[in-house]
Chain A
Amino acid sequence: MYEFNYQKAGSVADAAAKVAGADDGTLMAGGMTLIPTLKQRLAMPSDVVDIGQLADLQGISVAGGKVSIGSMTTHDTVANSADVKGAIPALAVLASGIGDPMVRNRGTMGGSVANNDPAADYPGAVLGLGATVVTDKREIAGDAFFTGMFETALDEGEIITRIDFPVPTKAAYTKFPNPASRYAIVGVFVAQTADGVRVAVTGAGGTAFRATEMEAALNANFSPSALDGISVSSDGLNKDIHASAEYRAHLIGVMAKRAVAACG
């Protein structure tokens, strides 16, 4: 780890000011991605601005057909929230499958979404539920948020404050984990929403994406068999020692069917 200044933010505005005022400032949420990066000397920020404990950014509320989750809410809190379990059980299931208990107790939804690891789980839910990412500056539609591998629509220094998830009729998330890291090799989030069926795929590509052909088929017939015969192209999918692009393409089909089945 290189040396850096540690600063604890008193408010969202204070955090933004501290990052802006630093030579090379970076936000820290749960630190579950940031700290390993620092320890491996892969990043050299001048200042680390800690927003993990900010009260404004915590908490879960359900109102007006939406579940709003503060960006610094930990995975463990989401996984065990009665509100989330009641309104969008799939989201609680997703959170409970992230990493291990230590990671879930520190890692946050905002940190995960801002980081946009191609193998992360939450992007599947943001896209799959058509959520809205709310920042200190604006609201960004989930569909426009994930722009590429580790890239998002966030501007420099822009802070995610909460994420609003519309409550679906039904939803489910199925994840095929990497045997080593247990991040998603393929994760599929399926939701029946007021605006139709959404199918979001994470882990398989450079960033999470929607499987529109599957959505169309499920809009016509919301059952696993509706997906028979839909094959996902392996073009452009990730490949590594754990899974070829073809295998990922195949798993998208399997996970999607299982998610539809799990919707009940």
Chain B
Amino acid sequence: MPRDDGIGASVRRKEDFRFVTGQGSYTDDLNRHGQTYAAFVRSPHAHATLNSVNTSAAAAMDGVVAIFTGQDLLDAEVNGLPCGWQVHSKDGEPMVEPAHPALAQGKVRHVGDAVAVVIAETLSQARAAAEAVAVDYGMLPAVGNMTAAKAGKAQIFEEAPNNQCYDWEIGDEAEIDAAMAKATHVVELPLVNNRLIANPIEPRVAIGDYDTATGEHTLFTTSQNPHVIRLLMGAFVLGLPEHKLRVVAPDVGGGFGTKIFHYAEEAIVTWAAAKVRRPIKWTSDRSEAFMSDAHGRDHETVAKLGLDADGKFLALKVQTDANMGAYLSTFAPAVPTYLYATLLAGQYTTPLVYANVRAWFTNTVPVDAYRGAGRPEATYVIEQIVEEAARQIGMDPADLRAKNFISPDAVPYQTPVALEYDSGNYAGTLEMAKKAINYDGFAARQAASKAAGKLRGIGFSAYIEACGIAPSAVVGSLGARAGLYEVANVRVHPTGSVTMHTGTHSHGQGHETTFAQVVAERLGVPIENVDVVHGDTNNIPFGMGTYGSRSLAVGGSALAKALDKVEAKAKKIAAHLMEASDTDVEFKDGQFTIAGTDKSVSFGDVALTAYVPHNFPHDELEPGLEEQAFYDPANFTFPAGCHIAEVEIDPETGTVTLANFVAADDFGNIVNPMIVEGQVHGGIAQGVGQALLEGCVYDEDGQLVTGSYMDYAMPRADNLPNFTVDTQVTPCPHNPLGVKGCGEAGAIAAPAAVMNAVTGAMRAAGVTKPIDMPATPSEVWAALHAS
């Protein structure tokens, strides 16, 4: 019988007890002895020179401990924030990479750009003094969007005369144009991937602390990857060696990508704490989060798909403009290039793919990875244009997809855009999803809606993503300035309980349960005897953190390898105890046995022997039972699947109701089906949010119009139907657990599915012009009304 706490079991999340009883320990719950509070002076203007920053009145106010400006950082030789990925333009030139000072120097470049920090005894005093800092801004024309950037409305950086960061390409343009010229059908589609604000429920918090006795700096921060922050901040910004810099990311309330990046506030509280010799806490409020957390997406694309007379895809050509915002956030340049264009083959055999991506600076908050990062953008382009092609050539959209799928026999499959798919069965998930939504019954449902005065549409999204980020050598050759392996340490205690350390970080994903299940399964110890530790650079050997659906695929693989080592050593100890050769030892359900004998020792006995080594093979082994493994993946993993959305539109008001949503996903092997289901639900909710509700709006002058929940619409439970989700398993062939990752799939697949359903419904009312996300009632009504 399989274990009820091992691989494949829907174990309830161990961490939820502390979360649902309010006992989690988030960064803002931590308070250090003698703590002070930081408040930032932020620019209300999108683009201005800093003529002067006068802090004298503020410095004299009650409770003020210190005030620092950009000039102070310059004087102290604090560097700007680094960018972690260098992209080269098609002419071979490196991207324009302007300095990103932690506090503005000379100029402010977006609303919310930090100008000064006030440190005071209380938060209220810090805020009052921040208001009293007198800044003389010299107003400049501002670039509120990419159109203005291209038109050169203003120049944001001296080194980027046309506001361009890079002009990158993949594929051969001449070849694609030649193929396109021979196509029977050429479908062209302009698309906008709307700008989003991640909005994790916990806003960012940073506490800097400095131990004068040891010279150790500590940063407590709301991060998805504390080691990456230690590396970036220590090595690049502050010049602090690792052994004197500890970064702790305790319980974190959601990240969605926006907590990957190294932010100015982290560097400032760490640096300033040593200056003022007091701990400093900064807690973002929601308004501040809107204008200082990195935003997501913001692409404008024109895509062209060429098909032959039978509907076979011949060539896909994509031109994308990507908004970087005012500075390059940590991984920003990679998102619209290597995480996007390399996915443009999708699930299809399209032999030729070409993409040209131009990245632009604007006077807006930096844009970086947001749940899915590049892959939702790619899926949106492919799945929208495929749906459009089906409509234009009059083919069933499911049939057109199936006709062009890469077949399971063709895997491993080398796409024309660098990636090699390792596994998959796309027809399998398409069929599964069609069945789940009762595709055959759609016509009848559409007729019923019509009779009730409503428009009904159905939309597919057959997505593929590259997860398990990433083979270090590959990403290194593509410009990543880091390796993307993972680390696990398994510490077996003398009585057989286990503490597992992982370099990944859980901020909602349930690692404390999933990873413990892997240990329980492998070592035969009950799950309650396994604790998973993450989030502290002083406790964990190293790690690259959690994003890109990498934790189980990469971190879990490191864990499997560490468990291999534990098992190998334990077998040797067991062999010694049973006076046998370790090659004859079998290990199952926590018992070591010798085949054909009744000899047996338990895992607990072996653990105890390892730490009380009276009867121990000292000449062969060291005492103790603790193993560590680094794992660098051989390839990306390729979760894929098919999501189908069905919507109903009220033509009188333009309101889109999501009537049904089904997901059929292939995540490889699954450790905890309940957690996977939860991840898919959350991802779909976010994807539906992008499609129907969320849209970050800047005006022409770079003012953030959607600066609060009064104007930025988050998805709520009543916007969503019950989802039907199911999985198919084609295991990943190259990692030890056969897993692929599930965290982003919903957010990747859902927008295209929903929008295909919306445009399908509108087409029935004669609207052929595409509509952009979010498909709000007013946009839908306006489109219907115009036709």
Residues of chain A having any CB pair with chain B under 8 Å: 1-3, 40-41, 176, 179-181, 183, 240-244, 247, 250-251, 254
Contact = CB atoms under 8 A, between A and B. Distances in A.
29 contacts: A1-B124, A2-B128, A41-B127, A176-B653, A176-B777, A179-B776, A180-B693, A180-B706, A180-B709, A180-B710, A180-B711, A180-B712, A180-B713, A180-B714, A181-B709, A181-B711, A183-B710, A240-B711, A241-B697, A241-B705, A241-B706, A242-B711, A242-B776, A243-B778, A247-B778, A247-B781, A247-B782, A250-B785, A254-B653
B709 A244 contact: no
Nearest to B715: A179
Contacts of B711: 180-181, 240-242
A243 B128 CA distance: 37
Given A40-B287, A242-B711, A251 B705 contact: no
Contacts of A241: 697, 705-706, 711
Contact of B781 (A40, A180, A250): A250
A41 B776 CA distance: 32
A200 B652 CA distance: 20
A251 B777 CA distance: 11
Say whether chain B's binding surface is mostly helix, strand, loop, or mixed.
Answer: loop
Contacts of A3: 124
Nearest to B654: A247
A230 to B, nearest CB: 15
Given A41-B127, A254-B652, A179 B777 contact: yes
Interface in B406-458: none
B754 to A, nearest CB: 14
Nearest to B711: A180
Contact of B713 (A41, A179, A250): A179
A237 to B, nearest CB: 13
B506 to A, nearest CB: 29
A244 B713 contact: no
Contacts of A179: 693, 713, 776-777
A39 B327 CA distance: 30
A242 B780 CA distance: 12
A176 B654 CA distance: 11
Interface in B670-721: 693, 697, 705-706, 709-714
Nearest to B652: A254
A248 to B, nearest CB: 9
Given A179-B713, A180-B693, A180-B713, 13 more contacts: A179-B777, A180-B709, A180-B711, A183-B710, A240-B711, A241-B711, A242-B776, A242-B778, A244-B778, A244-B782, A247-B782, A250-B781, A254-B652
Classify chain B: how many residues form its interface, as a range: 20 to 34
Nearest to B285: A39
Nearest to A244: B778
A244 B714 CA distance: 21
Minimum-distance CB pairs A-B, first 9: A180-B713, A179-B713, A181-B710, A254-B652, A243-B778, A247-B778, A180-B711, A241-B697, A179-B693
Nearest to B655: A176
Interface string B752-787: 000000000000000000000000111001100100
A2 B123 CA distance: 11
Contacts of B287: 40
Interface of B: 124, 127-128, 131, 287, 652-654, 693, 697, 705-706, 709-714, 776-778, 781-782, 785
A244 B781 CA distance: 11
Contacts of A244: 778, 782
B574 to A, nearest CB: 59
Contacts of A176: 653, 777
Nearest to A257: B652
Nearest to B713: A180
A41 B124 CA distance: 11
Contacts of B706: 180, 241
Contacts of A243: 778
Contacts of A250: 781, 785
A249 to B, nearest CB: 12
Nearest to A181: B710
Q: From B287, B709, B777, name the one whose CB has the most chain A CB atoms within 10 angstroms.
A: B777
Nearest to B128: A2
A121 to B, nearest CB: 16
Among A180, A183, A251: residue with most chain B CB under 10 A: A180
Contact of A251 (B124, B128, B653, B712): B653
Contacts of B709: 180-181
Contacts of A242: 711, 776, 778
Contacts of A1: 124
Among B709, B711, B714, the one with the most A-chain Cβ atoms within 10 Å of its Cβ is: B711
A254 B652 CA distance: 7
B707 to A, nearest CB: 11
B712 to A, nearest CB: 6
A234 B178 CA distance: 51
A253 to B, nearest CB: 9
A243 B781 CA distance: 10
A40 B131 CA distance: 12
A241 B706 CA distance: 9
A26 B785 CA distance: 46
A51 to B, nearest CB: 26
A156 B785 CA distance: 46
Contacts of B128: 2
Contacts of B653: 176, 251, 254
A242 B124 CA distance: 35
A3 to B, nearest CB: 7
Of the listed residues A1, A176, A179, the one surrounded by the most CB atoms of chain B closer than 10 A to its CB is A179
Nearest to B777: A179
**Of listed B128, B706, B714, B781, residue having the most chain A CB within 10 A:** B781
Contacts of A2: 128
Contacts of A181: 709-711
A75 to B, nearest CB: 18
Nearest to A2: B128
A243 B778 CA distance: 6
Pick the most buried of A2, A176, A241: most chain B CB atoms within 10 A of its CB: A241
B431 to A, nearest CB: 35
A81 B614 CA distance: 77
A109 to B, nearest CB: 21
A218 to B, nearest CB: 19
A215 to B, nearest CB: 22
A178 B503 CA distance: 43
Contacts of A254: 652-653
A221 B203 CA distance: 55
Contacts of B777: 176, 179
Nearest to B774: A179
A247 B776 CA distance: 12
Nearest to A3: B124
A254 B785 CA distance: 14
B730 to A, nearest CB: 39
Contacts of B124: 1, 3
B320 to A, nearest CB: 25
A244 B706 CA distance: 16
B30 to A, nearest CB: 23
B264 to A, nearest CB: 22
A8 B709 CA distance: 31
B203 to A, nearest CB: 14
B113 to A, nearest CB: 20
Contacts of B714: 180
A69 to B, nearest CB: 27
Contacts of B693: 179-180
A180 B782 CA distance: 19
A180 B776 CA distance: 10
A243 to B, nearest CB: 5
Contacts of A247: 654, 778, 781-782
Nearest to B709: A180
Contacts of B705: 241
A2 B125 CA distance: 10
A185 to B, nearest CB: 8
A243 B785 CA distance: 14
